[in-house]
Structure formats: C-alpha cells, structure tokens
A and B are shown apart, each in its own frame.
Chain A
C-alpha cells in the first residue's frame, strides 16, 4: 500500500516520537532482535555491541550540547571520565549500582557546568579551546589525584549487581547497557522536543532573539552543559563497570575527538545521526582490524604494512565524509526512507 501521508486528529497524536504504525512495527522488531542478539551471537560481537551502546550514549549527549545547543566541546571525553571515576569510587565504597551510576552522572554534570561557565562569554573556536583546557585539567586530575583514582595504575571496578543479581558476563551487561541506553536516548529525544530543547536550538540559531523571547542564556547554556555531561557521566559509569578497570588514558583528548567525529559523521543536531555516527566510528576500527588479519592470513608481509595504515584509513574516512556527506549519515538515511516510501513509484 502506498502511504501518502500521515494525518492526525489531535496535537497529542502528532506529538509522538514514532508517529506511524510502520515506525512502531520497525521499532518493535528492532527491540526483539536486540533482546535475542546476545543469545545467538558470538562473544566478540556482543562485546562490540556493548561498546557501541556506550558510545551511543556519549555521542547522543555530546550532540545535545554541540549539535543542538551549538556549544562546541573538546572536553566530552573528560566528562565521560569524571562519570567513570565517580562511579568507580562510589562502587568501591559498596554503594548500590543505581546510586553509583547516578552519582557518577551528577559529578560529571557538576564538572560540565563548571567548565561550561566560560561559554557565557566565549563562542566557537574560543569555547573549543576553553573546553580543551577542561579536558587537560581533568586528565591531570585523573592522573595525579591517586588517592581516589589510582593514578597512572588506574583502578579496578567490580561488576554491578542489582538486588543480588550480578551482571558479571558480557551477555548480562548487554541487557543492562541496552536498558540504560534506551532511557538516555529517549530522554534526549524528549528534551529536544520540549521547552528546554527549543531554547537550546534558539541559542544555537540566534542567541540575541532567544534572549528577547525570554530565554535566559546563562541558565540554558549551563543546563545544556549539565544535561549533556550528566549523560556523558552515565556512559562513563557503564564503561567503568563493563571494562572493570579504568585508567586515565581511556579518557584522553582522542576520546573527545572520536565523540566529535561521531556527531559529525552522523549529522549534527540529530539523535538518529548521533546513533549512526557512534555505530560507524566504533565499528570502523573493528572492521579494519578484521580486514588486516584477513589479509595477514595469506599475505603476512602486507598485513605488517597495513597495521600502521589503520590510523590513516580512519582519518581518511572522516575527511571523505566531511567532503562528500557534510550533513552526515542521517541525510543518507532520510533519502533511503523517502525512496522506500514511494516505492515502486520512484521519480
């Protein structure tokens, strides 16, 4: 059946995240597939999916700050780190999982708000540099405040448990991470379509007129930093629990850059885009690894050459994206959707 459009009989009905029946069906099938996945997939794939979901939370939260509110940040990786260490420290005290995760998030939110204060004066490249400073300062703290962080040696984290049920395997962690990811993604989507989210976009698109419609720039920029960093902290907490060991290098500037790469490749300002970007950027090195070892199995000489090339290929992919698809994967996705909507009457 050719669907020609959606009609709504009330604003509430139109105002849904997934308005069409088709979207609801697809979503349902996706959920079922995700729930079955750990039962049928290999250990390696489960662990990759876990890392992807954690990256999704990180990318979606950075997208809220940078894509939606227009506040450039090079410190997102460090805010993830604050969440990870905060969560690990609380967990070491034997506090329950939910408290540790939220506590890590809250700590990251406070750090984000503090380092977000310069955004009231600084824009664009200047804000980028000031968040870069935040990244360096926090990295320094992770490395040198050894009493809490274990310094360069890092610190171990026990797997989480909820009411006696321990999430001590990759499959178990998969379900936990999946649940948290869904909550975070829905939460960000809801914020974007509500009063705060509109105010964020208003600040991004025209801050002077945002002020004149009554948006308090101070309040809402800090709100953007706080919510974004809170979720970054949640991603960090999950990561700490999942890898069971955290060190300062994990939360270096390269993590911040890869989150930026995710939202650029995916498409700035779009939640779907951030998800695509997170999947893409997390998978890319894995695919390159597989390719290298595949080549290595019949041509070991070339494989030795390819290993150092991996970084280069990664960078090249990003550059090609910026040149050929500057609006990100989400634009391709929309085009594919538009095509199938009209299928077979494509024109």
Chain B
C-alpha cells in the first residue's frame, strides 16, 4: 500500500450524457500507481458509468482518460487490456457455457499469440502456449480457492463463487490496473471479508493497482488508500478515508447520519 507516486490512471474532466441527461459532469480523479483507490456513492451516482468510460464501453463527450500517460479515449475496449486494464462487472457477466478454467483462459486472450491455423492442428506452438497459460491460470484458481469448480460450467455456480470467477478472469489478464465494480455486492459477511482479503493480497503481493467501486462504505474505508465520493454524477469529496469519512457533505449525502455512512443504503 502506498499512494504518493505518479498516477497510473488519470481521469480528467470527463462528461458523459445520456440523451441530454448528464450521468457524469466534469469528473476528475486519479489512481496512483500501487494504490487501492475507491469510488463510492449512492445508487445511481454514476459509478458504473465511470468504470464503463474507463474500460471503453461508454465514450465521454468531453475530457480525457489516460493510462500510464497514454490517451485511452479513441482506443477500442478490446485494445485496452493491452494497456494493462482488466475489469469485473457489477452484474455477473461470465461466459456461462465455459468452464471456470476456460473463463480464466479467455481472460488471457490478449496474452495468447498463436493463430487460427495453429489451433486447427493444435500442435507445437499452440499446445506449448496453451499449457504455459494453463499453468498461470491454475495459480489464480488456487489463489481464489476455485479448484473444486475448475471444470464446471460457470453459469451453474453459486453467486458468491461466480463473483470470484469474475475476479479470477480479470486477474488472468495480469493487469496493472484492476477495475472492480461492486465485488462485494450481494455477498454475506464472510464472503465480503474474503473478497476484501483477496483485494488486499492482489494489491500488496502482486503489486496491482486497484480502482474499487463500492456502494457500501464499511469495507472500503478499511482497505482503501484513497477514497473518491461521487453523487449525482459529480465529485463530492476525495482524500484519505479518514478525511472523507468526516466530511460533512459526504455524511449528508449518505442519508445524513453516521449510521448511514456505514450502511450505505
């Protein structure tokens, strides 16, 4: 955990509108390299829209998004993995028909090089690459405790496990920046704590910077280096967890009382 070095991701003054209604207005924030930076805010604040702009699903009408100094706007979503981005989705977006193993292998798509012809004969280069990538994927499966589900179709797994597979698929890309959209949503206390542990380990041991979107403030305050608060598509506050927590504007946005701060609902 550290947070004072140069920003890995820099979001500068972006504006996103849907049919004239602004979902994000002139939003700026950044993720320092090596940090866990969290984006919090009530439902409908624009958190997912922000992540979609960063990952390339939405294109903001104004502003700029740079990753390690390179402009991302104009780069198609499928190319952004090459710049070291990977993401998870708030509503599970797994490949239902693929096994857990294959979901993670798809996560490595842009790291695998052999082409269609090699796969046709599945020999030499293709086979060698497959088993090297497979080994890497198995490490992630072990790390997340997904071994019992390895060969099961992702669509049939329990919710909490699917959330972990989502994380695994993003990790498989070996990103520099991991974008997580409410990874703890809908999980029980134990699963939430596990997920927080994984995020900390990913950040500390693997050195991956994390941009965490969460609705619930409790966990976020414990694990984040920086917190950005979004409300109605505008930045309400940003800073260290302590500073944000005691910011009166933030407190009133979250139902106006301190209990609401932790419940976030």
Shortest Cβ distance from A102 into chain B, in angstroms?
13
In terms of DSSP, what is the predominant structure of the interface of chain B? helix
User: What residue in chain B is nearest A206 (Cβ atoms)?
Assistant: B93
Per-position 1/0 for B93-124, Cβ under 8 A of A: 11111100010011101101010101111100
Cα–Cα, bound, A315→B215 (Å): 54
Report how many residues on chain B are interfacial, defined by Cβ distance under 8 Å: 42
Q: List residues of chain B with CB within 8 A of the CB of A47.
A: none
Q: List residues of chain A with CB within 8 A of the CB of B78.
A: 211-212, 214-217
* Cβ contact within 8 Å between A191 and B131: no
Per-position 1/0 for A196-207, Cβ under 8 A of B: 111101101110
Q: List residues of chain B with CB within 8 A of the CB of A12.
A: 127, 131
Stretch at the interface among B80-88, B191-199, B251-259: B80-88
Shortest Cβ distance from B73 into chain A, in angstroms?
16
In terms of DSSP, what is the predominant structure of the interface of chain A? helix
* Cβ contact within 8 Å between A212 and B87: yes
In this assembly, does B134 line the interface, its C-beta being within 8 Å of a C-beta of chain A?
Answer: yes
* Cβ contact within 8 Å between A206 and B106: no
Cα–Cα, bound, A227→B93 (Å): 27
- A: interface residue count bin: 20 to 34
* Cβ contact within 8 Å between B89 and A209: yes
Shortest Cβ distance from A181 into chain B, in angstroms?
15
* Cβ contact within 8 Å between A213 and B169: yes
* Cβ contact within 8 Å between A194 and B173: no
Given contact pairs A12-B131, A202-B95, a sample of 16 additional A-B residue pairs in the complex whose CB atoms are under 8 Å apart: A11-B138, A15-B130, A187-B120, A191-B119, A195-B112, A198-B102, A198-B106, A201-B95, A205-B98, A209-B94, A212-B55, A212-B77, A212-B81, A213-B173, A215-B78, A216-B79
8 pairs of A and B residues whose beta carbons are closest in the complex: A194-B119, A214-B110, A214-B81, A190-B122, A209-B93, A205-B95, A11-B134, A11-B131
Listed by A's residue number, 5 A-B pairs whose Cβ atoms lie within 8 Å are A12-B127, A15-B134, A191-B120, A196-B119, A209-B94
